[in-house]
């Protein structure tokens, strides 16, 4: 844990925070394409959940689109870290669009696990938000398996309605890579009450676990936590939740501008800082410089 002291305030930085390796690989690939591609570059969906990085890519003429239909034939297409429905890739290739895949390796492993479970005849439960792009991609890959039964739940309370009409005797469980471990194991425990056979893969990525553990540890030591990352970032939102659940106030911000004049900063003598896996170091440094000036 790094520490910096300024006047009466002590600033502590979580041991694990900021870019994970999957995000770094994707961002590096996007900027490399921007510099080297002879074709116009498009990203199918937001590359990562960080508006400031998306804006910097836009400045490099890397455009974000919502569908393959928006990409002109002959362009280059980069697949987001969360993965996509494989039908989109097939559709792009029929339009002479060169496809470069930036799906996070950990996300790809979840896709493969879910597909294998579906192939083995299990009813597949993905623990995560159904509308999250990672979950959309995982479920789309699994549905390529004939006869696949797959549902998404974000809490044990959703199991009953989600599983209506599906077999509950043989159940396979995987997780969104950025899910909270507590929620994942709560779902597993609930399924164990009715399933005769279970196959469970804890597919929460190591980077997510390390960030949540480090944030929780630091939150015990400070008066206030500052969590940096996109408001649409699941893993960053979970970091703030982890801190609040142990009773430490947490401010979730995207940029340092949101801290200006914040009343909670005045009262706090010790401030902890962490950042989501999609948060670049330059945003973290901006926040640290501001906090050190208080």
Query: In Å, what is the CA distance from 24 to each residue of 18, 104, 131, 133, 284?
Result: 10, 10, 24, 19, 15
Tell me the two tokens of residue 74: 């002959």
Nearest by Cα to 204 from 181, 235, 238, 231: 181
Who's near 32: CB < 8 A, 6+ residues apart? none
Nearest by Cα to 199 from 146, 128, 135, 122: 122
- Residues 277, 178: contact at Cβ < 8 Å? yes
Tell me the two tokens of residue 97: 């669009």
Tell me the two tokens of residue 260: 């200006």
Candidate list 15, 55, 59, 134, residue with the active-site label:
134
| Residue 130 a catalytic site member | no
Helix (H), strand (E) at residue 212: helix 206-219
Catalytically active residues, by annotation: 134
């Amino acid at each position: 844990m790094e520490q910096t002291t300024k006047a009466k305030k002590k600033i502590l930085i979580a041991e694990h925070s900021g870019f994970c390796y999957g995000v770094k690989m994707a961002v590096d690939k996007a900027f490399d394409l921007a510099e080297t591609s002879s074709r116009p570059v498009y990203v199918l969906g937001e590359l990562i959940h960080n508006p400031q990085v998306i804006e910097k890519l836009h400045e490099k003429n890397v455009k974000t689109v919502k569908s393959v239909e928006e990409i002109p034939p002959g362009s280059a297409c980069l697949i987001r870290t969360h993965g996509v429905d494989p039908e989109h890739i097939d559709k792009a290739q029929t339009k002479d669009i060169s496809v470069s895949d930036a799906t996070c390796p950990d996300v790809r492993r979840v896709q493969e696990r879910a597909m294998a479970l579906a192939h083995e005849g299990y009813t597949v439960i993905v623990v995560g938000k159904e509308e999250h792009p990672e979950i959309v991609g995982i479920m789309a890959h699994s549905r390529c398996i004939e006869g696949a039964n797959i549902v998404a739940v974000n809490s044990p309370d959703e199991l009953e309605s989600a599983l209506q009409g599906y077999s509950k005797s043989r159940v396979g469980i995987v997780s969104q890579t950025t899910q909270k471990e507590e929620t994942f194991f709560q779902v597993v425990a609930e399924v164990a009450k009715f399933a005769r056979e279970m196959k469970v893969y804890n597919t929460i990525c190591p980077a997510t676990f390390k960030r949540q553990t480090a944030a929780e540890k630091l939150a015990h030591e400070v008066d206030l936590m500052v969590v940096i990352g996109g408001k649409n970032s699941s893993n960053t939102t979970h970091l703030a939740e982890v801190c609040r659940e142990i009773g430490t106030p947490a401010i979730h911000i995207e940029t340092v501008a949101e801290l200006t004049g914040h009343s909670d900063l005045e009262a706090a003598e010790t401030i902890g800082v962490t950042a989501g896996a999609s948060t670049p170091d330059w945003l973290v440094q901006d926040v640290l410089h501001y906090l050190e000036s208080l």
